[in-house]
């Protein structure tokens, strides 16, 4: 089992843990962390699986750099929304959705 | 316990997913396509010598163009969300922290310039340089030497957008070469350095903005 | 050679990026005119491109001159050209509408123009991309712009809706990204044209998992039942022009991507899931319609109707191999896109005029806002599928293909869905025909709002008469 493959497997575990976190956790800050865990998992799979023969491949590395920037942008927007929600309601969990 | 059974269900689904995914990954043979050869073969025409930078700014430069758009967009969305609120007053930190901050920032600027220049042939580049500059701004803010931002004025908006606009203009201008972002090999190095310099400034402002726009005191 | 310089395909991406950036630099609330001028040019470019594709088949643009798999290719076939046409055709009237809708200093409209520009750029880039990873970046561009538009200047309910939407869209694109990572791991490329023969030749189990992940993620982003939970608060709570953009275009983008994968690189893998998707689509039609019938708020009703109407799109998957199913799906995309944009725009007028957002408060609207109610009625006609609207054509095509294939159950679902749509549309119209309560006051609204809503709704009906041209365009497939 190569190093690249171990990275990919770790990535798969992180991704699954992240999705479980987003589904199960109500606290918004932790949910954002769970989303980041999920993203990192996908990045690890992308780089690790492509390098399972343990030879460096620059293409997935560049893709992951792009992906990280996108994840940073999404995280920043999520944090801004959570702060706004906290400022408006004092809550760090999503209120129930009502049609009234 | 409804909650408890949900947790068990989700965790067992996640474990099953990892199990099947891991097994399927082990079955893989060698890939049909290997991009390392073409990446290396065209490195001389790409204008840079570091393969990851060549992929980022030349072969797949279009991804990077859209990525910068995403980052600018996130800042914009945050501006739209937080609305207008007065910037929080800066709280002066301990004089020792301030002195250290004053000392660290020039060094960080030097590191940023080095990273920008190094990107052509070793790990580094506009994003890393911009991140270090943004960190310098955050550091100044935390020690009370730089106020948070309320709403960006014309000059700042120009600075935030300039890197992306420059990248977009170069991409469009290169249509004369036959297609979007088709660098002529002779000028590729200079053009990439030009784009990266513009991006460094704008990325630094955007990343600093992501922090400084949110650092305001929460509205009562 | 100056031909590449004027390639409409590239300018459909560059132009909205340019006017979005310009609108941002111009500042808060500014940028309406660059946006409208840009969108008008884009309409022309999309028509040019559609004619080019209709005459000469698939058009390509090799970004950077490298060519796949090293570089990124852009490709436009009949399906992409149709989506581009719809996007520009819906966005231009909505931009004119939004200019009147957002008054000066409206906090929701402060950064509307640059956000809309990035949204349209993202959509156009998505419809022309032929690279799975590049598609991921465009998905995020669309998703973040949409979330920003929903949240802009809003109160707690709106921010909560935006957060719910953000998590859904991020998990969706995360699953898609993992799928892309697995595909790269399996084949060493993410270029759609390079992948097609490789996947058809040999698809290890990992590729099945990748296909499942990508489609699930995109289902979440398309709000297919039971993943629709985020859509009603987001589409129902946003300002009217934003709701219209989201319902008409944004959810269609992820659906388009499922279709693209289905017809393209994953055509040997995905059909295994066809009946599952069709069943969920049928469930979406019933559940969405039922919730629309019960909704208290007008925009909530329209948002649930979107959940239902998206269901029809998924009914075509079991029949996609047959002739005519794709045409039926695209006709439904057009019918719903135009009608729903018109309906949300009309709802925005009604809300501005009556000052509240409930169905019950619409009493007397017909005599006081006849143009708007007429627009609402026309859009409703398309949603119900009455002739000669494009909705009728779409549903008729689905039924025709279904019966030809012997899937009478799909035909039954379509017919039942039409009846349910009639119930919720007529519920609104009946209320509007009631006499005006004496106490009600009416705020005057700009004419431009009423007429741009009317134009969209009328287009959704009139398209039914010109469906043949659209079908012919779809003939130019990869």
Q: Tell me what pLDDT residue C478 has.
A: 46
Point out the residue among C64, C72, C141 whose CB comes nearest to the CB of B69.
C141
pLDDT for residue C242 is more than 90: yes
Partner C, chain B 11-70, Cβ-Cβ below 8 Å: 20-21, 23-25, 27-29, 31-35, 38-39, 42, 58-63, 66-67, 69-70
Domain ranges in chain A are: 3-89
Pick the closest to residue C238 from C104, C386, C94, C128 (CA basis). Answer: C94
Residues of B in contact with A56 (CB under 8 A): 36
Q: Are C224 and C259 in contact (CB under 8 A)?
A: no
Interchain CB distance below 8 Å, A12 and B22: yes
Give the total number of structural domains in chain B: 1
Q: CB under 8 Å to B58, separation ≥6 — which residues?
A: B46, B47, B48, B181, B183, B188, B192, C64, C66
Lowest-pLDDT choice from B55-64, C304-313, C433-442: C433-442
Confidence of residue B85 (pLDDT cuts 50, 70, 90): low
Question: Same domain for C287 and C221?
Answer: no
Question: Same domain for C235 and C277?
Answer: no
Lowest-pLDDT choice from A34-43, B188-197, C340-349, C462-471: C462-471
pLDDT for residue B201 is more than 90: yes
Residues of A in contact with C209 (CB under 8 A): none
Point out the residue among B14, B56, B214 whose CB comes nearest to the CB of A62.
B56
Question: Same domain for C209 and C290?
Answer: no
pLDDT for residue C1 is more than 50: no
Give the position of tokens 């149709």: C82
Q: Tell me what pLDDT residue B217 has.
A: 56
Average pLDDT over residues B20-31: 91
Give the total number of structural domains in chain C: 2
Whole-number mean pLDDT of chain B? 90
pLDDT tens figures, C152-192? 988 899 999 999 999 999 999 999 999 999 999 999 999 99
ipTM field: 0.97
Of C229, C247, C268, the last residue of a domain is C268
Question: Same domain for C281 and C226?
Answer: no
pLDDT tens figures, A50-59? 988 888 899 9
pLDDT for residue B218 is more than 70: no
Radius of gyration of chain C (CA): 21
Of C214, C235, C268, the last residue of a domain is C268
pLDDT tens figures, C110-123? 999 999 999 999 99
H or E element at residue C59 = strand C59-63
Q: Is C131 helix (H, G, I), strand (E, B) or coil?
A: strand
For every residue of C387-443, DSSP letters joined together read TTSHHHHHHHHHHHHHHHHT-HHHHHHHHHHHHHHHHHHHHHHHHHHSPPPTT----
- What are B114's two structure tokens? 């080095």
pLDDT tens figures, C430-442? 999 988 776 677 8
Pick the closest to residue A5 from C269, C172, C176, C206 (CA basis). Answer: C206
Higher pLDDT, C440 or C124: C124
Which residue on chain B is closest to A22 by alpha carbon? B10
What angle in degrees, to the nearest 10, is found between the helix axes of C298-315 and C251-263?
A: 0
Question: Same domain for C200 and C313?
Answer: no
Confidence of residue C477 (pLDDT cuts 50, 70, 90): low
Domain that holds residue C401: 272-478
C163 close to B (CB below 8 A): no
pLDDT for residue B220 is more than 70: no
Question: Same domain for C24 and C139?
Answer: yes
Q: Tell me what pLDDT residue C2 has.
A: 55
Interchain CB distance below 8 Å, B74 and A74: yes
Q: Note the maximum CA span of chain B.
A: 69
Q: CA-to-CA distance for C178 and C218, rounded, in angstroms?
A: 12
Of C268, C285, C300, the last residue of a domain is C268
The DSSP secondary-structure symbol of C238 reads S
pLDDT tens figures, C188-207? 999 999 999 999 998 999 99
User: Distance from CA of residue C433 to its chain's centroid?
Assistant: 30
Whole-number mean pLDDT of chain C? 93
Q: Tell me what pLDDT residue B219 has.
A: 42
Interchain CB distance below 8 Å, B30 and A53: yes
pLDDT for residue C131 is more than 90: yes
Q: Tell me what pLDDT residue B83 has.
A: 75
Q: Are C381 and C389 in contact (CB under 8 A)?
A: yes
Domain that holds residue B79: 31-212
Q: CB under 8 Å to C127, separation ≥6 — which residues?
A: C76, C80, C83, C84, C87, C253, C256
Residues of A in contact with C157 (CB under 8 A): 95
Residues of A in contact with C185 (CB under 8 A): 8, 45-46, 49-50, 52
Q: Tell me what pLDDT residue A97 has.
A: 78
- Name which CATH class applies to A3-89: mainly alpha
Using H for helix, E for strand and C for coil, what is the string for A13-80?
HHHHHHHHHHHHCCCHHHHHHHHHHHHHHHHHHHHHHHCCCCCCCHHHHHHHHHHHHHHHHHHHHHHH
Average pLDDT over residues C234-242: 95
Q: Is C103 helix (H, G, I), strand (E, B) or coil?
A: coil
């Amino acid at each position: 089992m190569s190093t690249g493959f171990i990275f990919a497997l770790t990535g798969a575990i992180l991704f699954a843990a992240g999705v479980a976190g987003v589904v199960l956790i109500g606290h918004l800050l932790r949910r954002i962390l769970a989303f980041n865990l999920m993203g990192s998992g996908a990045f690890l799979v992308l780089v690790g699986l492509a390098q399972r023969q343990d030879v460096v491949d620059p293409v997935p590395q560049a893709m992951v750099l792009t992906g990280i920037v996108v994840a940073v942008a999404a995280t920043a927007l999520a944090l801004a929304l959570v702060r706004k929600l906290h400022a408006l309601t004092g809550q760090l969990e999503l209120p129930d959705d009502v049609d009234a | 316990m409804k909650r408890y059974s949900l947790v068990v269900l989700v965790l067992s689904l996640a474990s099953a997913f990892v199990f099947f995914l891991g097994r399927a990954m082990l079955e893989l043979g060698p890939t049909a396509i290997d991009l390392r050869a073409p990446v290396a073969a065209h490195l001389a025409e790409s204008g840079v010598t570091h393969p990851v930078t060549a992929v980022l700014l030349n072969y797949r430069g279009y991804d990077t163009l859209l990525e910068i758009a995403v980052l600018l967009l996130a800042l914009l969305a945050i501006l739209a969300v937080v609305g207008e609120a007065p910037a929080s007053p800066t709280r002066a930190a301990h004089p020792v922290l301030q002195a250290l901050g004053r000392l660290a920032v020039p060094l960080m600027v030097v590191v940023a310039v080095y990273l920008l220049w190094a990107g052509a042939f070793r790990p580094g580049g506009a994003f890393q340089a911009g991140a270090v500059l943004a960190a310098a701004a955050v550091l100044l803010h935390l020690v009370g030497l730089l106020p948070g931002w309320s709403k960006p004025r014309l000059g700042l908006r120009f600075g935030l957008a300039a890197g992306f606009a420059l990248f977009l203009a170069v991409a469009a201008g290169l249509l004369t070469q036959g297609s979007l972002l088709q660098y002529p090999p002779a000028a590729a190095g200079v053009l990439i350095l030009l784009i990266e310099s513009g991006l460094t400034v704008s990325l630094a402002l955007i990343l600093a903005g992501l922090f400084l726009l949110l650092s305001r005191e929460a509205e009562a | 050679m100056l031909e590449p310089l004027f390639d409409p395909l590239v300018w459909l991406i560059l132009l909205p990026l340019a006017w979005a950036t310009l609108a941002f630099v111009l500042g808060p609330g500014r940028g309406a005119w660059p946006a409208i001028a840009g969108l008008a040019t884009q309409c022309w470019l999309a028509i040019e491109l559609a004619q080019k594709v209709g005459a000469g088949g698939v058009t390509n643009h090799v970004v950077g001159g490298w060519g796949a798999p090293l570089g990124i290719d852009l490709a436009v076939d009949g399906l992409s050209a149709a989506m581009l046409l719809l996007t520009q055709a819906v966005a231009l009237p909505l931009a004119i509408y939004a200019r009147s809708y957002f008054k000066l200093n409206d906090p929701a409209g402060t950064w509307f123009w640059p956000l809309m520009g990035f949204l349209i750029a993202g959509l156009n880039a998505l419809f022309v991309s032929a690279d799975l990873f590049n598609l991921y970046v465009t998905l995020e561009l669309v998703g973040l712009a949409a979330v920003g538009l929903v949240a802009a200047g809003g109160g707690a309910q709106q921010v909560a809706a935006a957060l719910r939407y953000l998590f859904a869209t991020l998990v969706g694109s995360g699953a898609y990204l993992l799928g892309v990572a697995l595909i790269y791991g399996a084949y060493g490329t993410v270029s759609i044209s390079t992948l097609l023969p490789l996947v058809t030749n040999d698809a290890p189990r990992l590729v099945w998992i990748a296909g499942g992940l990508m489609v699930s993620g995109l289902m979440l982003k398309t709000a297919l039942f039971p993943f629709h939970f985020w859509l009603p608060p987001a589409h129902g709570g946003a300002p009217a022009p934003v709701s219209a953009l989201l319902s008409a275009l944004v959810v269609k983008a992820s659906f388009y991507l499922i279709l693209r994968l289905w017809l393209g690189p994953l055509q040997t893998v995905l059909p295994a899931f066809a009946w599952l998707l069709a069943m969920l689509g049928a469930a979406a039609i019933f559940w969405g319609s039922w919730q629309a019938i019960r909704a208290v708020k007008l925009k909530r009703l329209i948002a649930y109707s979107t959940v239902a109407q998206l269901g029809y799109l998924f009914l075509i998957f079991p029949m996609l191999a047959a002739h005519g199913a794709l045409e039926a799906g695209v006709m439904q995309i057009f019918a719903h896109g135009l009608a729903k944009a018109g309906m949300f725009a009309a709802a925005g007028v009604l809300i501005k005029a009556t000052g509240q957002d409930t169905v019950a408060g619409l009493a007397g609207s017909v005599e006081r806002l006849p143009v708007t109610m007429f627009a609402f009625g026309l859009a409703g006609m398309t949603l119900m599928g009455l002739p000669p609207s494009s909705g009728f054509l779409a549903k008729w095509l689905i039924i025709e293909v279904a019966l030809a294939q012997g899937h009478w159950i799909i035909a039954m679902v379509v017919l039942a869905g039409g009846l349910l749509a009639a119930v919720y549309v007529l519920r609104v119209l009946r209320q509007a025909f009631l006499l005006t309560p004496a106490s009600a006051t009416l705020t005057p609204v700009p004419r431009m709002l009423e007429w741009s809503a009317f134009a969209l709704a009328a287009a959704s009906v009139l398209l039914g008469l010109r469906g043949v041209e659209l079908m012919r365009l779809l003939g130019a497939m990869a």
